Structure 1
Amino acid sequence: MRQTLIELLESNSTHADEFQSRFDDVQDSQRPNVVTVCCSDSRVLQDHMWGNDHPGRIFTCGNIGNRVVQRTDAGEVVSGDVLYPVAHTGTDTIIVVGHTGCGAVTATYDELTDGVSEPAGIEHCLSLLKPRLESGVESLPSNLARAEAVNRLVEYNVDRQVEFLADSDDVPAEVDAVGVVYDFQDAYSDRRGEVHVINVNGETAVEKLREEHPRIASRIGRLWEY
Protein backbone atom coordinates (compact mmCIF):
# COMPACT_ATOMS: atom_id res chain seq x y z
CA MET A 1 0.00 0.00 0.00
CA ARG A 2 1.36 3.39 -0.96
CA GLN A 3 2.29 5.83 1.79
CA THR A 4 0.02 8.41 0.16
CA LEU A 5 -3.12 6.46 1.08
CA ILE A 6 -1.92 5.90 4.63
CA GLU A 7 -1.34 9.62 5.07
CA LEU A 8 -4.74 10.46 3.60
CA LEU A 9 -6.48 8.08 5.99
CA GLU A 10 -4.61 9.57 8.92
CA SER A 11 -5.76 13.03 7.87
CA ASN A 12 -9.29 11.74 7.47
CA SER A 13 -9.26 10.54 11.06
CA THR A 14 -8.60 14.11 12.17
CA HIS A 15 -11.38 15.31 9.87
CA ALA A 16 -13.84 12.80 11.34
CA ASP A 17 -12.95 13.88 14.88
CA GLU A 18 -13.64 17.51 14.01
CA PHE A 19 -16.85 16.90 12.06
CA GLN A 20 -18.72 14.53 14.41
CA SER A 21 -21.57 16.96 15.04
CA ARG A 22 -21.50 18.94 11.80
CA PHE A 23 -23.64 16.46 9.89
CA ASP A 24 -26.55 16.58 12.37
CA ASP A 25 -28.66 18.94 10.23
CA VAL A 26 -27.94 17.29 6.87
CA GLN A 27 -28.38 13.63 7.65
CA ASP A 28 -31.38 13.16 5.37
CA SER A 29 -31.30 16.02 2.88
CA GLN A 30 -29.30 18.94 1.53
CA ARG A 31 -30.14 22.54 0.62
CA PRO A 32 -26.86 24.01 -0.63
CA ASN A 33 -26.85 27.76 -1.29
CA VAL A 34 -24.50 27.48 -4.24
CA VAL A 35 -23.15 25.03 -6.78
CA THR A 36 -19.55 25.61 -7.84
CA VAL A 37 -18.05 24.27 -11.07
CA CYS A 38 -14.31 24.15 -10.52
CA CYS A 39 -11.42 22.84 -12.51
CA SER A 40 -10.31 19.52 -11.07
CA ASP A 41 -6.70 20.76 -10.99
CA SER A 42 -5.05 19.67 -7.73
CA ARG A 43 -4.10 23.28 -6.97
CA VAL A 44 -7.75 24.38 -6.89
CA LEU A 45 -8.98 23.76 -3.35
CA GLN A 46 -12.68 23.61 -4.07
CA ASP A 47 -14.14 24.03 -0.57
CA HIS A 48 -11.10 25.43 1.18
CA MET A 49 -10.89 28.47 -1.10
CA TRP A 50 -14.17 29.66 0.42
CA GLY A 51 -13.16 28.76 3.96
CA ASN A 52 -16.02 26.27 3.96
CA ASP A 53 -16.22 23.68 6.70
CA HIS A 54 -20.01 23.25 6.78
CA PRO A 55 -21.41 20.11 5.13
CA GLY A 56 -24.44 20.98 3.02
CA ARG A 57 -23.42 24.54 2.19
CA ILE A 58 -21.65 24.13 -1.19
CA PHE A 59 -22.44 21.60 -3.92
CA THR A 60 -19.10 21.06 -5.67
CA CYS A 61 -18.50 19.85 -9.22
CA GLY A 62 -15.10 19.37 -10.78
CA ASN A 63 -13.75 18.61 -14.23
CA ILE A 64 -10.83 19.73 -16.36
CA GLY A 65 -11.62 23.15 -17.75
CA ASN A 66 -14.52 23.92 -15.33
CA ARG A 67 -17.06 22.99 -18.01
CA VAL A 68 -20.83 23.27 -17.59
CA VAL A 69 -21.50 21.65 -20.98
CA GLN A 70 -22.42 18.01 -21.46
CA ARG A 71 -22.83 16.37 -24.87
CA THR A 72 -25.86 14.10 -25.28
CA ASP A 73 -27.80 12.47 -28.12
CA ALA A 74 -30.08 15.49 -27.99
CA GLY A 75 -27.17 17.92 -28.36
CA GLU A 76 -25.23 20.00 -25.85
CA VAL A 77 -26.95 20.60 -22.53
CA VAL A 78 -26.06 21.89 -19.07
CA SER A 79 -24.21 19.12 -17.27
CA GLY A 80 -26.36 17.12 -14.90
CA ASP A 81 -23.71 17.56 -12.20
CA VAL A 82 -24.36 21.30 -12.28
CA LEU A 83 -28.08 21.15 -12.90
CA TYR A 84 -28.96 18.65 -10.16
CA PRO A 85 -28.82 21.04 -7.17
CA VAL A 86 -30.62 23.75 -9.17
CA ALA A 87 -33.41 21.35 -10.14
CA HIS A 88 -33.73 19.41 -6.91
CA THR A 89 -32.37 21.29 -3.88
CA GLY A 90 -33.38 24.91 -4.49
CA THR A 91 -29.86 26.16 -5.19
CA ASP A 92 -30.06 29.66 -6.67
CA THR A 93 -26.43 30.49 -7.47
CA ILE A 94 -23.98 28.84 -9.87
CA ILE A 95 -20.32 29.87 -9.71
CA VAL A 96 -17.97 28.87 -12.52
CA VAL A 97 -14.44 28.83 -11.10
CA GLY A 98 -11.58 29.12 -13.56
CA HIS A 99 -7.98 29.39 -12.40
CA THR A 100 -4.72 30.85 -13.58
CA GLY A 101 -2.42 28.48 -15.43
CA CYS A 102 -5.26 26.09 -16.31
CA GLY A 103 -3.90 22.96 -17.97
CA ALA A 104 -7.10 22.23 -19.88
CA VAL A 105 -7.19 25.73 -21.33
CA THR A 106 -3.47 25.44 -22.14
CA ALA A 107 -4.01 22.13 -23.94
CA THR A 108 -6.94 23.60 -25.87
CA TYR A 109 -4.84 26.61 -26.83
CA ASP A 110 -2.08 24.29 -28.04
CA GLU A 111 -4.59 22.19 -29.96
CA LEU A 112 -5.99 25.26 -31.70
CA THR A 113 -2.60 26.75 -32.51
CA ASP A 114 -0.24 23.81 -33.04
CA GLY A 115 -2.27 20.63 -32.81
CA VAL A 116 -1.69 18.08 -30.05
CA SER A 117 -2.42 14.41 -29.56
CA GLU A 118 -4.25 13.32 -26.41
CA PRO A 119 -5.89 10.09 -25.23
CA ALA A 120 -9.53 9.79 -26.29
CA GLY A 121 -10.97 10.72 -22.90
CA ILE A 122 -8.95 13.93 -22.70
CA GLU A 123 -9.68 14.72 -26.33
CA HIS A 124 -13.41 14.48 -25.56
CA CYS A 125 -13.04 17.09 -22.82
CA LEU A 126 -11.01 19.37 -25.07
CA SER A 127 -13.59 18.99 -27.83
CA LEU A 128 -16.12 20.67 -25.52
CA LEU A 129 -13.74 23.57 -24.91
CA LYS A 130 -12.36 24.10 -28.41
CA PRO A 131 -15.45 25.60 -30.06
CA ARG A 132 -15.79 28.03 -27.16
CA LEU A 133 -12.17 29.12 -27.11
CA GLU A 134 -11.51 29.30 -30.85
CA SER A 135 -12.73 32.87 -31.28
CA GLY A 136 -10.84 33.87 -28.14
CA VAL A 137 -7.59 32.52 -29.53
CA GLU A 138 -8.18 34.45 -32.76
CA SER A 139 -8.79 37.67 -30.78
CA LEU A 140 -5.71 37.51 -28.56
CA PRO A 141 -3.20 40.34 -28.89
CA SER A 142 -0.21 39.10 -30.87
CA ASN A 143 2.45 40.34 -28.44
CA LEU A 144 1.41 38.22 -25.44
CA ALA A 145 3.67 35.67 -23.82
CA ARG A 146 2.20 32.16 -23.74
CA ALA A 147 1.33 32.27 -20.03
CA GLU A 148 -0.39 35.63 -20.45
CA ALA A 149 -2.36 34.30 -23.41
CA VAL A 150 -3.51 31.27 -21.41
CA ASN A 151 -4.68 33.37 -18.46
CA ARG A 152 -6.72 35.59 -20.76
CA LEU A 153 -8.26 32.49 -22.29
CA VAL A 154 -9.09 31.28 -18.79
CA GLU A 155 -11.32 34.34 -18.47
CA TYR A 156 -12.71 33.79 -21.96
CA ASN A 157 -13.59 30.20 -21.10
CA VAL A 158 -15.34 31.23 -17.87
CA ASP A 159 -17.35 33.78 -19.85
CA ARG A 160 -18.43 31.16 -22.37
CA GLN A 161 -19.51 28.74 -19.63
CA VAL A 162 -21.57 31.47 -17.93
CA GLU A 163 -23.05 32.37 -21.30
CA PHE A 164 -24.10 28.76 -21.86
CA LEU A 165 -25.86 28.71 -18.48
CA ALA A 166 -27.64 31.98 -19.24
CA ASP A 167 -28.83 30.69 -22.61
CA SER A 168 -30.12 27.37 -21.29
CA ASP A 169 -33.85 26.87 -20.77
CA ASP A 170 -32.98 24.39 -18.01
CA VAL A 171 -31.57 27.12 -15.76
CA PRO A 172 -34.35 29.29 -14.28
CA ALA A 173 -34.04 33.03 -14.90
CA GLU A 174 -33.87 33.74 -11.16
CA VAL A 175 -30.69 31.66 -10.76
CA ASP A 176 -27.52 33.77 -10.71
CA ALA A 177 -24.58 32.62 -12.83
CA VAL A 178 -21.26 34.06 -11.70
CA GLY A 179 -17.80 33.66 -13.21
CA VAL A 180 -14.63 33.93 -11.13
CA VAL A 181 -10.93 33.16 -11.41
CA TYR A 182 -8.87 31.60 -8.62
CA ASP A 183 -5.37 33.07 -8.78
CA PHE A 184 -2.21 31.44 -7.45
CA GLN A 185 0.18 32.96 -10.00
CA ASP A 186 0.06 36.63 -8.94
CA ALA A 187 -1.75 37.50 -12.17
CA TYR A 188 -4.38 39.66 -10.47
CA SER A 189 -2.75 40.60 -7.18
CA ASP A 190 -0.08 39.44 -4.77
CA ARG A 191 -2.65 37.55 -2.69
CA ARG A 192 -2.24 33.98 -3.86
CA GLY A 193 -5.42 31.94 -3.57
CA GLU A 194 -7.70 34.96 -3.93
CA VAL A 195 -10.87 34.69 -6.01
CA HIS A 196 -11.58 37.48 -8.51
CA VAL A 197 -15.06 38.10 -9.93
CA ILE A 198 -15.08 38.61 -13.70
CA ASN A 199 -18.66 37.93 -14.77
CA VAL A 200 -22.10 38.26 -13.18
CA ASN A 201 -25.03 36.99 -15.22
CA GLY A 202 -23.20 37.74 -18.45
CA GLU A 203 -22.02 41.24 -17.54
CA THR A 204 -18.25 41.49 -17.93
CA ALA A 205 -17.52 45.25 -17.94
CA VAL A 206 -15.44 45.86 -14.83
CA GLU A 207 -16.61 49.38 -14.03
CA LYS A 208 -20.26 48.49 -14.53
CA LEU A 209 -19.91 45.43 -12.32
CA ARG A 210 -18.27 47.55 -9.61
CA GLU A 211 -21.11 50.06 -9.79
CA GLU A 212 -23.74 47.35 -9.59
CA HIS A 213 -22.01 45.39 -6.82
CA PRO A 214 -20.21 47.95 -4.60
CA ARG A 215 -19.82 45.56 -1.66
CA ILE A 216 -17.43 43.41 -3.68
CA ALA A 217 -15.97 46.13 -5.90
CA SER A 218 -12.42 45.47 -4.73
CA ARG A 219 -12.74 41.82 -5.79
CA ILE A 220 -13.93 42.58 -9.31
CA GLY A 221 -11.27 42.74 -12.00
CA ARG A 222 -10.19 41.29 -15.31
CA LEU A 223 -6.99 40.77 -17.25
CA TRP A 224 -8.80 41.09 -20.57
CA GLU A 225 -11.75 43.25 -21.55
CA TYR A 226 -12.21 42.21 -25.15
Structure 2
Amino acid sequence: MQDAVVDLLDANAEHAREFAGRFDDVQDAQRPAVVSVSCADSRVLHDHVWGNDEPGRVFTCSNIGNRVFQRVDGEDVVSGDVLYPIEHTGTEVAVVVGHTGCGAVTATYDAVQGVLDEPAGIARCLALLEPHLAPGVDALPDDLGRAERINRLVEYNVDRQVDLLLASDDVPDAVDVLGVVYDFQDVYDGARGEVHVVNVDGETAPEAIREAHPALAHRIGRLWTDE
Protein backbone atom coordinates (compact mmCIF):
# COMPACT_ATOMS: atom_id res chain seq x y z
CA MET A 1 0.00 0.00 0.00
CA GLN A 2 2.82 2.42 0.79
CA ASP A 3 4.08 2.48 -2.80
CA ALA A 4 0.58 3.26 -4.04
CA VAL A 5 0.21 6.09 -1.52
CA VAL A 6 3.60 7.55 -2.43
CA ASP A 7 2.60 7.47 -6.09
CA LEU A 8 -0.62 9.30 -5.26
CA LEU A 9 1.17 11.96 -3.25
CA ASP A 10 3.75 12.48 -5.99
CA ALA A 11 0.96 12.88 -8.53
CA ASN A 12 -0.79 15.33 -6.21
CA ALA A 13 2.37 17.42 -5.92
CA GLU A 14 2.45 17.69 -9.71
CA HIS A 15 -1.25 18.59 -9.68
CA ALA A 16 -0.59 21.34 -7.13
CA ARG A 17 2.19 22.79 -9.27
CA GLU A 18 0.02 22.73 -12.38
CA PHE A 19 -3.14 24.11 -10.75
CA ALA A 20 -1.62 26.68 -8.40
CA GLY A 21 -3.02 29.64 -10.34
CA ARG A 22 -6.39 28.16 -11.29
CA PHE A 23 -8.25 28.67 -8.01
CA ASP A 24 -8.09 32.47 -7.81
CA ASP A 25 -11.64 32.99 -9.10
CA VAL A 26 -13.27 30.15 -7.18
CA GLN A 27 -11.65 30.20 -3.76
CA ASP A 28 -14.72 31.70 -2.10
CA ALA A 29 -17.61 30.48 -4.26
CA GLN A 30 -18.52 28.18 -7.13
CA ARG A 31 -20.98 28.40 -10.01
CA PRO A 32 -20.52 25.20 -12.04
CA ALA A 33 -22.39 25.10 -15.33
CA VAL A 34 -23.01 21.35 -15.10
CA VAL A 35 -23.56 18.68 -12.46
CA SER A 36 -22.32 15.34 -13.76
CA VAL A 37 -23.38 12.09 -12.05
CA SER A 38 -21.16 9.13 -12.88
CA CYS A 39 -20.82 5.54 -11.81
CA ALA A 40 -18.11 4.90 -9.21
CA ASP A 41 -15.74 2.90 -11.39
CA SER A 42 -11.96 3.18 -11.62
CA ARG A 43 -12.17 3.04 -15.42
CA VAL A 44 -14.36 6.13 -15.59
CA LEU A 45 -12.10 9.13 -14.97
CA HIS A 46 -14.94 11.50 -14.32
CA ASP A 47 -13.29 14.87 -14.93
CA HIS A 48 -11.15 13.47 -17.72
CA VAL A 49 -14.25 12.22 -19.51
CA TRP A 50 -15.14 15.89 -20.03
CA GLY A 51 -11.57 17.07 -20.57
CA ASN A 52 -12.06 19.15 -17.45
CA ASP A 53 -9.08 20.87 -15.88
CA GLU A 54 -10.82 24.02 -14.69
CA PRO A 55 -11.86 24.18 -11.02
CA GLY A 56 -15.46 25.33 -10.65
CA ARG A 57 -16.63 24.26 -14.12
CA VAL A 58 -18.16 20.82 -13.50
CA PHE A 59 -19.69 19.60 -10.23
CA THR A 60 -18.95 15.87 -10.17
CA CYS A 61 -20.47 13.15 -8.00
CA SER A 62 -20.10 9.39 -8.33
CA ASN A 63 -21.79 6.37 -6.80
CA ILE A 64 -22.64 2.75 -7.52
CA GLY A 65 -24.89 2.76 -10.58
CA ASN A 66 -24.79 6.53 -11.31
CA ARG A 67 -27.88 7.00 -9.16
CA VAL A 68 -29.42 10.46 -8.87
CA PHE A 69 -31.62 9.48 -5.92
CA GLN A 70 -31.60 8.23 -2.37
CA ARG A 71 -34.39 6.72 -0.31
CA VAL A 72 -35.76 8.84 2.52
CA ASP A 73 -38.68 7.56 4.62
CA GLY A 74 -39.49 5.04 1.90
CA GLU A 75 -39.54 7.63 -0.88
CA ASP A 76 -37.02 8.10 -3.69
CA VAL A 77 -35.78 11.70 -3.63
CA VAL A 78 -33.01 13.45 -5.55
CA SER A 79 -29.71 12.90 -3.73
CA GLY A 80 -28.27 15.86 -1.93
CA ASP A 81 -24.96 15.66 -3.78
CA VAL A 82 -26.81 15.97 -7.10
CA LEU A 83 -29.30 18.55 -5.89
CA TYR A 84 -26.83 20.81 -4.08
CA PRO A 85 -25.40 22.59 -7.15
CA ILE A 86 -28.88 22.95 -8.67
CA GLU A 87 -30.26 24.42 -5.46
CA HIS A 88 -27.34 26.55 -4.34
CA THR A 89 -24.97 27.39 -7.22
CA GLY A 90 -27.28 28.11 -10.14
CA THR A 91 -26.39 24.97 -12.11
CA GLU A 92 -28.86 24.43 -14.96
CA VAL A 93 -27.54 21.30 -16.68
CA ALA A 94 -27.53 17.79 -15.18
CA VAL A 95 -25.79 14.91 -16.95
CA VAL A 96 -26.20 11.24 -15.99
CA VAL A 97 -23.14 9.25 -17.10
CA GLY A 98 -23.54 5.50 -17.47
CA HIS A 99 -20.78 3.32 -18.91
CA THR A 100 -20.44 0.11 -20.86
CA GLY A 101 -19.91 -3.05 -18.87
CA CYS A 102 -21.24 -1.44 -15.69
CA GLY A 103 -20.67 -3.68 -12.67
CA ALA A 104 -23.58 -2.16 -10.74
CA VAL A 105 -26.00 -2.82 -13.59
CA THR A 106 -24.58 -6.33 -13.98
CA ALA A 107 -25.04 -7.07 -10.27
CA THR A 108 -28.56 -5.63 -10.31
CA TYR A 109 -29.40 -7.75 -13.34
CA ASP A 110 -28.23 -10.82 -11.41
CA ALA A 111 -30.23 -9.70 -8.36
CA VAL A 112 -33.40 -9.47 -10.46
CA GLN A 113 -32.64 -13.02 -11.63
CA GLY A 114 -32.42 -14.10 -8.00
CA VAL A 115 -28.63 -14.39 -7.90
CA LEU A 116 -27.10 -11.99 -5.40
CA ASP A 117 -24.23 -12.52 -3.00
CA GLU A 118 -22.88 -9.15 -1.90
CA PRO A 119 -21.97 -7.55 1.44
CA ALA A 120 -24.76 -5.55 3.06
CA GLY A 121 -23.48 -2.14 1.98
CA ILE A 122 -23.30 -3.10 -1.69
CA ALA A 123 -26.59 -5.01 -1.51
CA ARG A 124 -28.28 -1.88 -0.18
CA CYS A 125 -27.16 0.14 -3.20
CA LEU A 126 -28.30 -2.58 -5.57
CA ALA A 127 -31.65 -2.75 -3.77
CA LEU A 128 -32.17 0.91 -4.66
CA LEU A 129 -31.55 0.19 -8.34
CA GLU A 130 -33.45 -3.08 -8.57
CA PRO A 131 -37.06 -1.82 -8.71
CA HIS A 132 -36.10 0.70 -11.38
CA LEU A 133 -34.26 -1.83 -13.55
CA ALA A 134 -36.50 -4.87 -13.10
CA PRO A 135 -38.98 -3.83 -15.84
CA GLY A 136 -36.06 -3.39 -18.21
CA VAL A 137 -34.78 -6.88 -17.46
CA ASP A 138 -38.21 -8.28 -18.28
CA ALA A 139 -38.32 -6.31 -21.55
CA LEU A 140 -34.92 -7.42 -22.88
CA PRO A 141 -35.00 -9.30 -26.20
CA ASP A 142 -34.44 -13.02 -25.76
CA ASP A 143 -31.80 -13.32 -28.48
CA LEU A 144 -29.14 -11.20 -26.78
CA GLY A 145 -26.00 -12.46 -25.08
CA ARG A 146 -25.20 -11.48 -21.51
CA ALA A 147 -22.88 -8.58 -22.40
CA GLU A 148 -25.43 -7.20 -24.88
CA ARG A 149 -28.17 -7.43 -22.28
CA ILE A 150 -26.07 -5.58 -19.72
CA ASN A 151 -25.19 -2.74 -22.09
CA ARG A 152 -28.82 -2.24 -23.03
CA LEU A 153 -29.66 -2.14 -19.34
CA VAL A 154 -26.96 0.50 -18.89
CA GLU A 155 -29.01 2.74 -21.21
CA TYR A 156 -32.21 1.72 -19.45
CA ASN A 157 -30.71 2.71 -16.11
CA VAL A 158 -29.58 6.08 -17.48
CA ASP A 159 -33.13 6.65 -18.75
CA ARG A 160 -34.59 5.89 -15.33
CA GLN A 161 -32.22 8.32 -13.63
CA VAL A 162 -33.15 11.02 -16.13
CA ASP A 163 -36.83 10.30 -15.47
CA LEU A 164 -36.31 10.67 -11.72
CA LEU A 165 -34.71 14.09 -12.18
CA LEU A 166 -37.42 15.27 -14.54
CA ALA A 167 -40.19 14.09 -12.22
CA SER A 168 -38.78 15.72 -9.10
CA ASP A 169 -40.37 18.90 -7.81
CA ASP A 170 -36.95 19.80 -6.42
CA VAL A 171 -35.45 20.15 -9.91
CA PRO A 172 -36.65 23.30 -11.72
CA ASP A 173 -38.11 22.89 -15.20
CA ALA A 174 -35.35 25.16 -16.53
CA VAL A 175 -32.71 22.52 -15.77
CA ASP A 176 -31.69 20.54 -18.88
CA VAL A 177 -31.18 16.83 -18.20
CA LEU A 178 -28.93 14.74 -20.42
CA GLY A 179 -28.29 10.99 -20.34
CA VAL A 180 -25.08 9.60 -21.84
CA VAL A 181 -23.05 6.39 -21.96
CA TYR A 182 -19.25 6.38 -21.75
CA ASP A 183 -17.85 3.61 -23.95
CA PHE A 184 -14.45 2.02 -23.34
CA GLN A 185 -15.45 -1.41 -24.68
CA ASP A 186 -15.97 -0.50 -28.36
CA VAL A 187 -19.70 -1.17 -28.10
CA TYR A 188 -20.84 1.98 -29.94
CA ASP A 189 -19.60 3.41 -33.22
CA GLY A 190 -16.90 5.94 -32.44
CA ALA A 191 -13.59 6.28 -30.68
CA ARG A 192 -12.85 4.37 -27.50
CA GLY A 193 -13.61 6.68 -24.56
CA GLU A 194 -16.30 8.68 -26.32
CA VAL A 195 -19.54 9.66 -24.63
CA HIS A 196 -22.71 8.83 -26.58
CA VAL A 197 -25.91 10.78 -25.99
CA VAL A 198 -28.87 8.45 -25.37
CA ASN A 199 -31.44 10.73 -23.70
CA VAL A 200 -32.21 14.46 -23.74
CA ASP A 201 -34.88 15.68 -21.34
CA GLY A 202 -36.64 12.31 -21.49
CA GLU A 203 -36.52 11.92 -25.27
CA THR A 204 -34.82 8.66 -26.25
CA ALA A 205 -35.56 8.35 -29.97
CA PRO A 206 -32.30 9.16 -31.79
CA GLU A 207 -33.96 10.82 -34.77
CA ALA A 208 -36.13 13.01 -32.55
CA ILE A 209 -33.06 14.08 -30.55
CA ARG A 210 -31.15 14.87 -33.74
CA GLU A 211 -34.04 16.95 -35.05
CA ALA A 212 -34.45 18.87 -31.81
CA HIS A 213 -30.72 19.24 -31.10
CA PRO A 214 -28.78 19.22 -34.39
CA ALA A 215 -25.57 20.27 -32.63
CA LEU A 216 -25.59 16.88 -30.88
CA ALA A 217 -26.40 14.85 -33.98
CA HIS A 218 -22.95 13.29 -34.47
CA ARG A 219 -22.74 12.22 -30.80
CA ILE A 220 -26.08 10.41 -30.56
CA GLY A 221 -25.90 6.63 -30.38
CA ARG A 222 -28.31 4.20 -28.83
CA LEU A 223 -28.45 0.40 -28.61
CA TRP A 224 -32.02 0.01 -27.35
CA THR A 225 -34.40 2.01 -29.52
CA ASP A 226 -37.62 0.02 -29.24
CA GLU A 227 -38.58 0.35 -25.54
Out of 49-58 and 74-83, give the one that drifted further. Answer: 74-83
AA aligned to 1:52 is N
| 2:54 aligned counterpart, secondary structure | coil
More moved, 184-193 vs 141-150: 184-193
C-alpha displacement of 1:74: 5.9
Q: Which residue of 2 aligns with 1:167?
A: 167
Matches within 5 A, 1:68-107: 68-73=68-73, 75-107=75-107
Runs of 4+ in 1 over 6 A off after TM superposition: none
Q: Secondary structure at the match of 1:185?
A: coil
Instruction: Give the letter aligned to residue 39 of structure 2.
Output: C
Residue equivalent to 1:143: 143
Q: What is the Cα deviation at residue 73 of structure 1?
A: 1.8
**Residues 1:42 and 2:42 are matched in the alignment:** yes
Identity %: 65
1:224 corresponding residue in structure 2: 224
| CA displacement, residues 100-134 of structure 1 (integer Å, 9 cap, x when unaligned) | 00000000001111421211111110011100110
- How far, CA to CA, are the matches of 1:20 and 1:55 in structure 2? 11
In structure 1, what is the Cα distance between the partners aligned to 2:67 and 2:2?
32
Residue in 1 that maps onto 2:189: 189
SS of residue paired to 2:196: strand
Post-superposition offset of 1:189: 2.1
1:108 matched residue in structure 2: 108
**Structure 2 residue 27 is matched with structure 1 residue 14:** no
SS of match in other structure, 2:46:
coil
Superimposed CA distance per residue, residues 26-81 of structure 1 (whole angstroms, 9 cap, x where no aligned partner): 01000000000000100001000111100000000000100011011262100000
Q: Give the stretch that moved more between structures: 142-151 or 106-115.
A: 106-115
- SS of the aligned residue for 1:151 comes to helix
TM-score (norm 2): 0.98
Q: Secondary structure at the match of 1:141?
A: coil
Structure 2 unpaired stretches of 5+: none
The CA distance in 2 between the partners of 1:67 and 1:151, in whole Å, is 16
How far apart in 2 are the matches of 1:76 and 1:216? 31
Structure 1 unaligned spans of 5+: none
2:137 is aligned with 1:132? no
